[in-house]
Structure 1
Amino acid sequence: MVAAGVLGFLPGFAGAAEIDGGALSVWWSIPFAGILLSIALLPLLAPAFWHHHFGKVSAAWTLAFFIPFAALFGPALAGGSLVHALLAEYIPFIVLLTALYTIAGGIFIRGNLHGSPARNTGLLAIGTVLASVMGTTGASMLMIRPLIRANDNRNHKTHVVVFFIFLVSNVGGSLTPLGDPPLFLGFLKGVDFFWTLRHIFPETLFLAGSLLVIFYLLDSWYYRKEGVLPVDPTPDTRRIGFDGGINFWLLAGVVALVLMSGFWQGAPVFRVWGTEVGLQGMVRDAGLVALTLISLKLTPASVQHSNQFSWGPMQEVAKLFAGIFLTIIPVIAMLRAGADGPFGAVVSAVTRPDGQPDPAMYFWATGALSSFLDNAPTYLVFFNTAGGDPTLLMTALAPTLAAISAGAVFMGANSYIGNAPNLMVKAIAEDRGINMPSFLGYLAWSGAVLVPLFVVMTFIWFK
């Protein structure tokens, strides 16, 4: 924030104009497509190179966008866009993510339950419920380690982590603004805090319940196939407890800060290089940083050691999503240009011939883009496409808002980059020696399991 404040006083850059997406060519989406293809293919084609240089690859694609853009449109517009992406989107995103990762990583669930199909299903159900209370990131970081430990003697455990991503890292966050960033942005725009709980609870119950049943059947099949399991390196214990309990209070502080930033109205707003930064956001982010530092200070080293806590997964997410947030700038601008923009076909597809919004198309368009773009700005694009009036969207156009909300949250599970916890869980699992699917391999899982359920949901709720 201090660095951004200094930038705000540089001459010639304050008040930089917003990008006119209608004037851009689709070629400006190449850097974004490039970073997506790099994430998908390089771990397969050059794993050693990717492991050591993924941050440089992310930076290279970012420069491939900003250098030509600054040359053609001027440093003011390029710099203003950069600062807006950092201050309004990336920094709040990564600060919240780091706080949840650190605080949840400071809680060690003692004891070890044997990873039977019933117990695994129970752990997934608990994590799914927690996701709407403490966010998909917080629930994922809290539950993934004990789940991995419960299955550390299983031969087949990749599917356990894949369904964990489906349920805990995505579907479970659909009921409150605390659950997933898109819903939090809707809350900031004026959507009632409990609106999604009232309007997409049946869809969430159907999807979560179906996934839990499918998982139980699949895990039971693997369990029977394995037969006699090897000796468990962390044997079962009857006594379950928590170490690092102070972090539960810190998690409550995270929830309070997020709620405060949504309910605090009329706070002073500062302009930094053309980007509005509200005091409530600054207080929230400063508070989250403070809670992160308090957690690091008060959590015993033994707890972090027991959790095998490391910064590797967080570093990977931070570097890759920095590139994603920055190269996505022209893509979002082109989508915001509406029917007259380069992606006008996408916008036109969500409107019926009579001019009324089509909930089914909103569900699939929001979901398809949320699978590969960041689902928070994608939610905002279609929120505004549907009119942007929260009162109208919560009443007369409630099916449309429900479709947008469900598409953004549910279909974030379709790929590793659809939602930040997906990539973090993958990195933690791989750090524990679990052979996770490649980017394309994960798409095969989501295509086989999730997409058929989304089709069923369309005919029931979004027709």
Structure 2
Amino acid sequence: MSLAIRRGLAAASLLLPAWAGAADIDGAALSAWWGIPFAGVLLCIALMPLLATQVWHHHFGKITAGWAVAFLLPFAVVFGPGVAGGALVHALLAEYIPFIVLLVALYTAAGGIFVRGNIHGSPATNVAIMAVGSVLASLMGTTGASMLLIRPLIRANDNRKHVAHVVVFFIFTVSNAGGSLTPLGDPPLFLGFLKGVDFFWTLKHIFPETLLLLGALLAIFYVIDSWYYRREGVMPVDPTPDTPRLGLEGAVNFLPLAAVVALVLMSGTWKPGVVFDVFGTPVELQQIVRDVLLVGVTFVSLAITPKGVREKNQFSWAPMQEVAKLFIGIFLTMIPVLAMLKAGEQGAFAAVTRAVTGPDGQPLPWAYFWFSGVLSSFLDNAPTYLVFFNLAGGDPAVLMTTLAGTLAAISAGSVFMGANTYIGNAPNFMVKAIAEDRGVAMPSFFGYMLWSGAILLPLFALMTFIFFV
């Protein structure tokens, strides 16, 4: 063994004690200034596509990495390389890698299924596609349902002038609200399942809220789309005319999709009790097995897809690459923000803790709904769900019974309000990227928020008075 290698191993061995347990950051020791890099990432995503389109298009990965480094380097200087390294490892192993591996598997499998036959995108047809997708979202996840149906939806409307609003409402319904009824639907509910919440609890307790939201959204969309449809009048020649009959090509990819669902369920129910400590981050055996097999599922999907199907689907890795690059920056820069929220009364965001608790010391469901929802709009909704789950006591038996209203509020806020921004839920950005890749002029970051503010916020206010007060 060379001298350089021996010195490297010796240096690593000195760091190991410092990295042990470094994944847990004391949020009480952080000031709000540590949230600047996260705010910088959000502002770049929001403004640079408008103010510096070409620079952002060619260098968004480097810009996002720059903000990540702007957090990690000062953090390592102030708190030590062990703490910074432990936080980096935790973000990668416990959050980012499972997140991106699952997305890639769903994206690949769904991208290998081609819906043959160009359905004409009338208002009624578009509503039907969104309704079907909303049901599928709780069965195969918002990501799986979104990736399966967004391409047929865009193709159905490719001879229409106004299409952006169709994609926006698809994000509202299929990519978010539809995934609220089972732990398979959205990552926050899956984390609740891992914490001990019954599999069918959300179906029993927030079905009325889901029905109200989806029913209202589909009705509002039908009115808006009908107005656009009548205004457009005579449509141009359809660039993708109908094939002889409606059908599926690459349906064999439903097997990989089923495997993804089975692996997610397996990781939540199989508890071998084997845990590996990686620089302070506990990595359970079932997580490793799930992620390795998900990678295998991805390659299987690529291998079994009939030749030409992905080309017909205009399948491209570009949307997935964009999501992967942007979300690594988001996951890293939000480390201190989540730590400060987790610190509760001792953290820089103590006002949030006080705001969700009544004078009698009991949780306020309406406050949990809005705070978990608004933060899920800008932070990853899965760890945000956990923060408020623990803030409400963290005991699943109590939360499912005595504090059922509070758990329902946290679940609904985390899932529903992920639709408020492009970064509130992973499928949002993927759908946007696919639509833009197909030539749809999607709203900017703030343009999308004008849609969500005008459509969703009044519905959330109505929901608050009906269910959470």
1:132 aligns with 2:112: no
Contact 1:31 1:62 (C-alpha < 8 Å) held by counterparts:
yes
Partners in 2 of 1:378 and 1:405 — Cα distance? 10
Q: Which stretch shows the higher mean deviation, 389-398 or 264-273?
A: 264-273
Contact 1:59 1:323 (C-alpha < 8 Å) held by counterparts:
yes
Contact 1:394 1:401 (C-alpha < 8 Å) held by counterparts:
yes
Q: Which residue of 2 aligns with 1:3?
A: none
Q: Which residue of 1 aligns with 2:98?
A: 92
Of 349, 359, 377 in structure 1, the residue corresponding to residue 383 of structure 2 is 377
- Where structure 1 has 5 or more consecutive residues not aligned to the other structure, the ranges are 1-5
3-state SS of paired residue (1:109): strand
Contact 2:272 2:285 (C-alpha < 8 Å) held by counterparts:
no
Q: Which residue of 2 aligns with 1:15?
A: 20
Partners in 1 of 2:183 and 2:128 — Cα distance? 24
Q: Which residue of 1 aligns with 2:6?
A: none
1:119 aligns with 2:125: yes
Contact 1:113 1:237 (C-alpha < 8 Å) held by counterparts:
no
Partners in 2 of 1:82 and 1:433 — Cα distance? 37
Q: Which residue of 2 aligns with 1:342?
A: 348
* Counterpart residue identity of residue 431, structure 2: V
Of 187, 192, 213 in structure 2, the residue corresponding to residue 186 of structure 1 is 192
* Counterpart residue identity of residue 262, structure 1: G
Q: Which residue of 2 aligns with 1:223?
A: 229
1:121-270 to structure 2, matched below 5 A, reads 121-237=127-243, 239-270=245-276
Partners in 1 of 2:149 and 2:234 — Cα distance? 26
Give deviations 1:405-454, integer Å, cap 9, x for gaps. Answer: 00000000000000010000000000010000000000000000000000
Of 336, 357, 361 in structure 1, the residue corresponding to residue 363 of structure 2 is 357
* CA-CA distance at 1:39 after TM superposition: 0.2
3-state SS of paired residue (1:121): helix
3-state SS of paired residue (1:277): strand
* Counterpart residue identity of residue 169, structure 2: F
Partners in 2 of 1:375 and 1:302 — Cα distance? 37
* CA-CA distance at 1:237 after TM superposition: 4.4
Contact 1:16 1:76 (C-alpha < 8 Å) held by counterparts:
no
* Counterpart residue identity of residue 286, structure 1: V
1:415 aligns with 2:421: yes
Q: Which residue of 1 aligns with 2:109?
A: 103
Q: Which stretch shows the higher mean deviation, 452-461 or 333-342?
A: 333-342
Partners in 2 of 1:34 and 1:300 — Cα distance? 43
Of 81, 86, 94 in structure 1, the residue corresponding to residue 87 of structure 2 is 81
Change (3 A) 1:225 1:10: farther
TM-score by length of structure 2 reads: 0.96
Q: Which residue of 2 aligns with 1:60?
A: 66
Contact 2:272 2:286 (C-alpha < 8 Å) held by counterparts:
no
Partners in 2 of 1:162 and 1:407 — Cα distance? 19
1:70 aligns with 2:73: no
Identity of aligned residues (%): 72
Partners in 2 of 1:445 and 1:34 — Cα distance? 23
* Counterpart residue identity of residue 12, structure 1: L
TM-score by length of structure 1 reads: 0.97
* CA-CA distance at 1:238 after TM superposition: 5.9
Give deviations 1:27-72, integer Å, cap 9, x for gaps. Answer: 0000000000000000000010101100001100000000000011
1:290 aligns with 2:290: no
Q: Which stretch shows the higher mean deviation, 193-202 or 241-250?
A: 241-250
Contact 1:8 1:273 (C-alpha < 8 Å) held by counterparts:
no
Q: How many residues align?
A: 458
* Counterpart residue identity of residue 449, structure 2: L
* CA-CA distance at 1:298 after TM superposition: 1.5
1:34-49 to structure 2, matched below 5 A, reads 34-49=40-55
